[in-house]
Structure 1
Amino acid sequence: IIENELENIQNYEGFNDCLDKFPLYKGKGTNRSDEKGDENRVYTKFKGKLRIREIPSSERSRTSESISRMSINPVLLNSQTVSEAKQKLAPTIHLNQEMLQFDLNQHPITLKCRLYIIKALLFRAWDASGKADPYIKILLNRDIIIDDVKERLYNTLEPVFGKSYEFDITIPQQSLLRIQVWDWDLANLDDRIAETSIDIENRWFSCHRATCGLQKRYDSAGYNVWRDTKTPAVILQDLCRTTNLNLPVYATDCRSVIIGDVRFDCDPECVQFIKHGKPNDLLHRKVHHESPDEYIRQNTALTALHGWAIKINPKGALVSEHIECRSLFDPKVPDVEQGKLEMWLDIFPMSRPPSSAPVDITPLKPMAYQLRVTIWNTSDVELNDENFVTGEKTSDIYVKAWVLGEKDDGQQTDIHYRSLTGEGNFNWRFIFDFNYIDIEEKIVHEKKESVFQIGNTLKKLPPRIVIRVYDADLFSADDFLGECILNLTHLPIGSKMSKKCKSDILLDSKHRALNLFVNKRIAGWWPMIAPLIVGEVRDTALLGGKVEAEFSLLTAEEAEKNPVGKGREGPQPLDEPNRPKTSFLWFTSPWKTFRYVIWRNFRWTILIGIIIFIFVLCLLIGLWSVPGELVGIVLNKIFKTNTGKK
């Protein structure tokens, strides 16, 4: 991948080794310096190459006679003069043979171009949403030849196009290829974001072979099939003839080639492939009429082409296979870069059109997966509440988890009320469905960020699951007690026992891990790292609890054949957790509250209170009844005495 334009690579000389551009100015300047940088006075541009050499005295008479007959290029008039001109040029000056053989005005060249656009990066937003809806337009000079508005992408500043375009071009009439990125609008006219331009003519005639980049390895079949219409051996032979060098001489086993006094050896990997290659691969090559010796010979020639600038001609570097990152500019603001475009361009003559299909660079389609997470138990969870009656430390524990986002696919267990030891029992199953690109190790998530948005916004997320443990509160926000973030492609192996579960499982990067996409299933205990509280000084490895979980990853097809339910529901329901009798919500279970909270902690106090209450009650009743009895006794005695006297 080249970080800028191919023309900006120093070894390629801007592909101006055969053609230069000279601006032609309109009007009249006061001096030559007025012409420099005055783009407003440029009327047109002349493209050509000016070469000056000394003519020997023996040729002066012949040359002077021919000058009067020349109209454009004197070299075109005499093939012998062409040969002499090429031989007498300095070795550092390139001369493309095809340019000297054709009058392009009378016999234009038709080329077939394959443009591969991978992705772009836009530096600014073009819609009110802060995004853009980009698509591609391709122009030759000022004529639109491809308007790909139907394949527009929605709501992104990092569009991945993954498109190849094939079209014909005629030089010199259609020499400028313009690639534009546009923003689609529903109600208004579309906006041109920026563009980049490529001079096809310069690339075609350049001696650096900017037509089709040399691949690292020659293959006649498979995903790396050779794209150029000439094999490496033919390209090397033509290059030697053009530069007046001896033709390449190959060794008997074709593992080396000599050009002049320079030797090139075949890539050892190619030799090893022939020696130890799989029989099916070798048989496949025989179907394509390629012998092992021919395979070695082509790769040996390819090695010589890659090393041409290093060992033979420092100014003759050949373009290798590449992806160029071209800058995007808006013609209205030419000095401000608007973005980057990753692409490459292959050019073929119509006399030798490509026999293979274009390279498929369509973005990989994500594969559907289903992650099943069963939360069995928790232990050593921080007790965050204090009972105002008994003073006991408790927590109302529940577990929450998500893959795409807390608001997108967040799920939570039921609540284990009044945990006195930090232990929670759940037997609860989470089910997460997502799409995953294996080669990028990314989860692809599409969603609408607003009701009025057209199309979905595509996001690529790391394949990880977030598990959190909370303390439920009735009248305030739930308290966050601990968190466990697990990367599914590098999932640390959990402990088999709760006592051996330490924070190092998550914090130690060297801890043994596995790829859940390969191993499919794992179970164990994982630590929950407690959050840091502002202003509190404590160990960063403090545990907020431990969770016992089981992870199972299935493809969408496997999940459909073996369905399960969420929570404890069927199919394949889970058993109810064996929770202690003390686990209940106090205001919904008043009898349990009295039995397991009040009676358990205050039984003797209650019994003594009852006894005292009965005693006091009896005493009060006694005191209340004593005066009446005394009065009755007194009255009886009085009345009995009076009756006796009478």
Structure 2
Amino acid sequence: MVFNPKNCFCRTSEIQKLAKKASQIRCVCRKTRWQKFRQAFSKKKIYCPCLKDFQRSVDKVEKKHGKTCACCRKLLEKLHLVTSDKDNQPGFWASICGIFKSSCLGGKCECCRKVAGKIKKICGDTAKRCAFCRKIGKKFTKKKPAEENFEDSYEENDYDWWTKYYSSLKPLPKPDERASIRDTFRLNIYNRELETQAEFNHFEDLLMAFPMYKGKRTGDEVVDRDMVQGVFKGNIKIYRWPESTEKHLLTRYGRPLKDGYFGQFPPNHPLHFTLRVYCVRALHLPPKDVNGKCDPYLLVRLVDRVQDNKDDFKNKDLNPVFGRMFEFNGIFPKDHTLVVQIWDRDVATKDDLIGETIIDVENRLYTNHRAKCGIPEFYKETGYCAWRDQTKPTAILSRLCTHWNLTKPEYAPTSVRIASKVFESTKYESCGDDRIDKEVKALYALRNWDQAPFVGMKLVPEHVETRSLYSPDKALVEQGKIQLWIDIFPAGDLPPPSAVDITVKPPKDYELRVVIWNTADVLLQEDEFISGQKKSDIFVKGMILGHDNVQSTDVHYRSLTGEGNFNWRFVFPMQYLQNEDMTLIRRKEGHFQSKDSDKKFPCRLTLQVWENDMFSKDDFLGTLSLDLSRMPRGSKGEENCNFTITEPNAPRINLFKTKRTRGWWPFKGKDLDGNLTLVGKVEAEMELLTAEEAQQKPAGIGRNAPQALPEPK
């Protein structure tokens, strides 16, 4: 083997040692080790196509760096050995990681650093492009501590539809902010009726509604509404007939005009369908009782069929969360209108109608905007974001192409082509399954169908619409709002899919234990009576937001440096709603109330540092607020504890996943000018247990038993 060390910046003696050692390695057939690697690589098959691209990239690096440095040459030899061994592919990235740590890659040789940097970039690009490489690439990626993984994978989380709903209510994460799994999957929440959105135009692209009045209209909306005796649904188009030109004219649907304009309209024979009404929650309902509240429940009517949840009314709630699904079987055109009502339950008197909303179901089924079932943003076959339509995205896309007389979709490795339009997502990543990849590409085309030339229009996405409620007695005065969505499944060869479970999960009982160990650098405000030296009498308060349980440590007297030693435990029982990331407080507001009223607060721990005064009110110094599901990771030492650990892009942990954490966190306060400043640091340990775990391992408050804490030294 010939080495040319002239272009290497590491010491000549080290190169000579490496060259001598490499030249002494021989195989049984007396061929050099490098030649053996070459033969092994050419004979054995590599199953992953990305590894072939990886080998080509390695060859390019070899041409430039292979003859300049002995350690670079040795590095490339090891890379060839790893890529040529098909039995070692599961440990491919682990082997690469070990190679990078060998030789002089720690920083002694400049050309080695360049080679290693290029190889790392190749490995990173390969791992992102190929599903097989992504799977085995976990061994190559350096594992982070368990604290930093504040969210698990999509499959492992116990999330449901409400997780996606409440995530959609939040603003999108900032580009420099760490996004969790629960913030990735969202749906559209419209603040008005779906048909009133500008892109859908009341769903009158196919069928238009013409009210039929008895007598002459007066112009008063309330009076004219009582005069309506029926609705005519149809469409009217005016065009020249017979055609006076030799050109072959086409309709909007790409069909010859000579065959008639309405050739693609649906037939007028009875059509059986399944209707599902998902009622999420109501907003800003007017009070109906003397206490300024109401007891709402739902009543849903499809012509002569009625369903309600009167037995499950919401007690004294003006913003109730229903989480109910009502299912009907109907026939078009007979069952064309859906009425959703909210009633106030009364014990001694007749129930009062709060308000109602009316939905034209027939127009939603026949519109070209495809409003019968919303199209989600991501394609998943399992989990809380699983596909919930009768047909898959590829089948829907094929039907659209047939309906509009377009060519069949042509699927490429990263895109799908329809006529002259190519739909290609910049965020597309292959999952390794060709069938699923095809569905993902078809779904992207459906989500962007409005970009299709001539026939493009916006398709209804997965959504929740907000509808206004009106009472017949006050026709023009809004009586609150209701959030819901409907799915329509025509009867056919395929049965209706499983319904989405929007049942509200009950809260889970937890116990949060916080041990305050020490404080440091606390602001000193008082003067020592004799010496005049600055001092402070420190104690710490702790509470959960919205709870009345406020706990305090004992007082550390006469701290001259801002240091305080406590060894004091807080214990906070609480009820946690995982999907909303909120704590729940239930209490009765009156002696005659039959049910408890619920109040929700963010799941936030607040720690405060105070100055104890003997003859006056205690002085507040600073505070620290920690969201338990997304709290900043504490620093390991007080010297590194500052405001940088609380910045948006700083590492975060989910205490409901990690269960325990310990570290230093900064207290925030205000100076004389009103600016935020560091007023102290606290060393705390937090442990979160379920109610069952807390019962098995009880702990006392303060330093009391069980699990008594020692006195501070």
Length-normalised TM-score, structure 1: 0.67
Shift of 1:314: 4.2
Please point out which of 566, 570, 584 is paired with 1:426: 566
Q: 1:47 and 2:232 equivalent?
A: yes
**Structure 1 residues 314 and 410, CA gap change in structure 2 (3 angstroms):** same
Q: 1:26 and 2:214 equivalent?
A: yes
In structure 2, C-alpha distance between the alignment counterparts of 1:511 and 1:18, rounded to whole Å: 53
Please give the residue correspondences for 1:347-366 in structure 2 after superposition, counting only pairs within 5 Å: 347-352=488-493, 354-366=495-507
In structure 2, C-alpha distance between the alignment counterparts of 1:494 and 1:224, rounded to whole Å: 33
Shift of 1:344: 1.6
Q: 2:215–2:227: 8 Å Cα contact kept in structure 1?
A: no
**Structure 1 residues 47 and 378, CA gap change in structure 2 (3 angstroms):** same
- Alignment correspondent of 1:10: 198
In structure 2, C-alpha distance between the alignment counterparts of 1:420 and 1:226, rounded to whole Å: 63
Q: 1:134–1:152: 8 Å Cα contact kept in structure 2?
A: yes
Please point out which of 472, 477, 485 is paired with 1:336: 477
Please point out which of 293, 300, 304 is paired with 1:138: 300
SS of 2:431's partner is helix
**Structure 1 residues 405 and 9, CA gap change in structure 2 (3 angstroms):** closer
- Alignment correspondent of 2:588: 448
Please give the residue correspondences for 1:245-394 in structure 2 after superposition, counting only pairs within 5 Å: 245-246=405-406, 248=408, 250=410, 259=418, 261-265=419-423, 272-274=430-432, 292-293=434-435, 295-314=436-455, 316-352=457-493, 354-378=495-519
Deviations 1:535-594 (A, max 9, x none): xx456446665544322333445434433222222221112344xxxxxxxxxxxxxxxx
In structure 2, C-alpha distance between the alignment counterparts of 1:87 and 1:414, rounded to whole Å: 88
Q: What one-letter code is carried by the residue in structure 1 that aligns with 2:475?
A: P
User: Percentage identity across aligned positions?
Assistant: 38
Q: 1:463 and 2:631 equivalent?
A: no
- Alignment correspondent of 1:595: none
Which residues of structure 1 form unaligned runs of 5+?
60-81, 103-107, 276-291, 579-646
**Structure 1 residues 567 and 237, CA gap change in structure 2 (3 angstroms):** closer
Worse overlay, 319-328 or 515-524: 515-524
Shift of 1:347: 0.7
**Structure 1 residues 515 and 44, CA gap change in structure 2 (3 angstroms):** same
In structure 2, C-alpha distance between the alignment counterparts of 1:48 and 1:12, rounded to whole Å: 18
Shift of 1:429: 1.0
**Structure 1 residues 418 and 130, CA gap change in structure 2 (3 angstroms):** farther
Work out which of the two has the higher radius of gyration on C-alpha atoms and give 1 or 2.
Answer: 1
Shift of 1:198: 0.7
SS of 1:272's partner is coil
In structure 1, C-alpha distance between the alignment counterparts of 2:428 and 2:670, rounded to whole Å: 55
In structure 2, C-alpha distance between the alignment counterparts of 1:423 and 1:561, rounded to whole Å: 35
In structure 2, C-alpha distance between the alignment counterparts of 1:528 and 1:299, rounded to whole Å: 47
SS of 1:39's partner is helix
SS of 2:711's partner is coil
Worse overlay, 304-313 or 424-433: 304-313
Q: 1:122 and 2:284 equivalent?
A: yes
**Structure 1 residues 236 and 541, CA gap change in structure 2 (3 angstroms):** closer
**Structure 1 residues 233 and 391, CA gap change in structure 2 (3 angstroms):** closer
- Alignment correspondent of 1:553: 688
Shift of 1:14: 1.1
Worse overlay, 129-138 or 341-350: 129-138
In structure 1, C-alpha distance between the alignment counterparts of 2:400 and 2:616, rounded to whole Å: 80
In structure 1, C-alpha distance between the alignment counterparts of 2:425 and 2:621, rounded to whole Å: 58
Deviations 1:480-510 (A, max 9, x none): 4443333334544556666x48764688666
- Alignment correspondent of 1:565: 700
Q: 1:18–1:206: 8 Å Cα contact kept in structure 2?
A: yes
Q: What one-letter code is carried by the residue in structure 2 that aligns with 1:202?
A: N
SS of 1:17's partner is coil
**Structure 1 residues 207 and 469, CA gap change in structure 2 (3 angstroms):** closer
Q: 1:147 and 2:308 equivalent?
A: yes
Q: 1:233–1:298: 8 Å Cα contact kept in structure 2?
A: yes
- Alignment correspondent of 1:435: 575
Q: What one-letter code is carried by the residue in structure 1 that aligns with 2:199?
A: N
Deviations 1:372-425 (A, max 9, x none): 111234456567778999999876654321114452x21223445676776654
Q: What one-letter code is carried by the residue in structure 2 that aligns with 1:248?
A: K
Shift of 1:269: 6.7
SS of 2:498's partner is coil
**Structure 1 residues 308 and 546, CA gap change in structure 2 (3 angstroms):** closer
SS of 2:306's partner is strand
Shift of 1:167: 1.2
Deviations 1:319-357 (A, max 9, x none): 333222222333333333333332221111233463431
SS of 1:97's partner is coil
Worse overlay, 388-397 or 488-497: 388-397
Length-normalised TM-score, structure 2: 0.62
SS of 1:273's partner is coil
Q: 2:421–2:452: 8 Å Cα contact kept in structure 1?
A: no
Q: 1:228–1:354: 8 Å Cα contact kept in structure 2?
A: no
Please point out which of 143, 149, 160 is paired with 2:321: 160
**Structure 1 residues 429 and 129, CA gap change in structure 2 (3 angstroms):** farther
In structure 2, C-alpha distance between the alignment counterparts of 1:89 and 1:37, rounded to whole Å: 45
Please point out which of 626, 631, 652 is paired with 1:486: 626
Worse overlay, 211-220 or 569-578: 211-220
Shift of 1:47: 1.5
**Structure 1 residues 320 and 509, CA gap change in structure 2 (3 angstroms):** closer
In structure 2, C-alpha distance between the alignment counterparts of 1:241 and 1:513, rounded to whole Å: 50
Worse overlay, 38-47 or 539-548: 539-548
Please point out which of 303, 327, 333 is paired with 1:172: 333
Q: 2:450–2:459: 8 Å Cα contact kept in structure 1?
A: yes
Deviations 1:293-318 (A, max 9, x none): 5x455555545544444224446543
**Structure 1 residues 380 and 365, CA gap change in structure 2 (3 angstroms):** same
SS of 2:575's partner is strand
In structure 2, C-alpha distance between the alignment counterparts of 1:239 and 1:484, rounded to whole Å: 56
In structure 2, C-alpha distance between the alignment counterparts of 1:236 and 1:553, rounded to whole Å: 48
In structure 2, C-alpha distance between the alignment counterparts of 1:539 and 1:110, rounded to whole Å: 68
SS of 1:204's partner is helix
Shift of 1:236: 4.0
SS of 2:202's partner is helix
In structure 2, C-alpha distance between the alignment counterparts of 1:416 and 1:128, rounded to whole Å: 52
- Alignment correspondent of 1:183: 344
Q: 1:121–1:340: 8 Å Cα contact kept in structure 2?
A: yes
Please point out which of 92, 98, 102 is paired with 2:266: 98
In structure 1, C-alpha distance between the alignment counterparts of 2:357 and 2:538, rounded to whole Å: 59
**Structure 1 residues 576 and 186, CA gap change in structure 2 (3 angstroms):** farther
